[in-house]
Structure 1
């Protein structure tokens, strides 16, 4: 199972925002440089996080992106769903639907993984970061 690079950048961006400046806007250029990614590409990812209600954008000289909603409670799963969507990772191609035994095993495993990701907040991870990395 593999998540897209966009999810990787979204998770790292959110961790950086939580660890360094939860209330202060950070420019897309600074966020992009930190991850060595194109600002244009990162902007598309940030737009998804804005639409999900996790961050907000502010324009102007002191503009940028900052955390929005109860950022202390944003889970890994919230961020992953904002980028990847909520579709199941596995879908039986033999039209067995819910009766497919393989589908049942795969869905069960996915539910356990999602539970783990739902219980891990980006805030908890930020608290574990050494100050020099923030």
Structure 2
């Protein structure tokens, strides 16, 4: 499965917002800090806002801020916010098509390929749901010096 760059951008942005105390931070500054397209990152932030992961603050010191603690945000939350919750595999019942389909009796069970792919995708989604952004931030081991660098990059 291939995910868009937006998932990576969203994950780093959420963690950076946490590093600076939750926000708010203007999307342009967040984009500039990583050399990203401001319009594309704003789109990701709007999708995160629709999913309730960030909120928008208006005004001269506004921007986006975390709407939930990193402990309450999973990788699955972010993937679904950016990519949607559409299943990756779509069975088209190819087993019923062409000469094989014409010569075979109609199926009475779920397609075994479909069932196997669904099990694999369900396991992937469960693994994403089990990983919080707080765990990722802990793995990053953001030292006070590193946090200062992130704040400086966002100034």
**TM-score, structure 2 normalization:** 0.78
* Structure 1 SS opposite 2:92: coil
Matched with 1:79 is 78
CA drift at 1:70: 4.4
Matched with 1:29 is 28
Runs of 4+ in 1 over 4 A off after TM superposition: 95-98
Unaligned runs of 5+ in 1: none
Matched with 1:61 is 60
**TM-score, structure 1 normalization:** 0.89
What is the count of residue pairs matched by the alignment?
A: 133
CA drift at 1:31: 0.9
Q: Which has the larger radius of gyration?
A: 2
The 8 Å contact of residues 19 and 127 in structure 1, kept in 2 or not, is answered as: no
Matched with 2:101 is none
**1:33-52 deviations in whole A, cap 9, x for unaligned?**
12211111111111110111
Q: Is residue 42 from structure 1 mapped to residue 41 from structure 2 by the alignment?
A: yes
> In 2, Cα distance between the equivalents of 1:35 and 1:92?
39
Matched with 1:89 is 88
Matched with 1:121 is 132
> In 1, Cα distance between the equivalents of 2:139 and 2:25?
21
Q: Is residue 9 from structure 1 mapped to residue 15 from structure 2 by the alignment?
A: no
* Structure 1 SS opposite 2:14: helix
Matched with 2:51 is 52
* Structure 2 SS opposite 1:83: helix
> In 2, Cα distance between the equivalents of 1:113 and 1:10?
19
> In 1, Cα distance between the equivalents of 2:116 and 2:11?
28
> In 1, Cα distance between the equivalents of 2:62 and 2:27?
9
The 8 Å contact of residues 29 and 39 in structure 1, kept in 2 or not, is answered as: yes
